[in-house]
A = this chain, B = another copy of it.
Amino acid sequence: MTVTAGEPREATGPGGSEGSGGPGGPELWRMLQRAQARITRALEAELLLGHDLALASYDVLTRLAESPDRRLRMNDLADRVLLSRSGLTRLVDRLQRDGLVEREACPDDARGLFAVLTDDGAVRLAEATPTYLRGVHAHLLGALGADELSRCAAVLARLAGPPSGEG
């Protein structure tokens, strides 16, 4: 058995315009990973530097702000934020320590908890949002054309699966 079972020996490189033949798969995936990591790090650094806010925290705050009554069940929040349940528990712990979020029991279901955006959290989010938006434009949109943008949106929508961002 050879080591290179299905590995593309040597790709044509980033400029190669091969649309079929196979090497597109893993290579595309690598690039997707790289792109995501690059943008994530840039955004995280800018947010952290300017507002002491991690990207995940910003996401939580945003989701909460988007939701009616600024509140969301932990479970739903976890889905939107792309974190495990335990991960969200810890993150909300931290946010609560910082006074950006509160936990509130919901009367309907005694085992359910709401994460509620506090006033302080809303302010912090409002302060950080311009930085976030600026970062997204600089790192994502800056490298894209308008047509590519819409195309990617369609493709990514399929890859991202269930939206889970709509309420």
Please list the residues of chain A having a beta carbon within 8 angstroms of any beta carbon in chain B: 1-9, 11-15, 17-20, 23-40, 42, 46, 62, 65-66, 70, 82, 117, 122-123, 125-126, 129-130, 132-141, 143-144, 146-161, 163-166
A104 to B148: give the CA distance in the assembly, Å.
45
Residue of B with least CB distance to A27: B153
Name the distance in Å between A110's Cβ and chain B's nearest Cβ: 29
- Is the beta-carbon distance between A13 and B166 smaller than 8 angstroms? yes
Name the distance in Å between A158's Cβ and chain B's nearest Cβ: 5
Name the distance in Å between A62's Cβ and chain B's nearest Cβ: 7
Copies of this chain, count: 2
- Is the beta-carbon distance between A3 and B82 smaller than 8 angstroms? no
Max chain B CB contacts within 10 Å: which of A32, A130, A163?
A: A32
- Is the beta-carbon distance between A137 and B6 smaller than 8 angstroms? yes
- Is the beta-carbon distance between A5 and B130 smaller than 8 angstroms? yes
Residue of B with least CB distance to A131: B3
| Residues A122 and B3 in contact in the complex (CB < 8 Å), given A28-B152, A159-B31 | yes
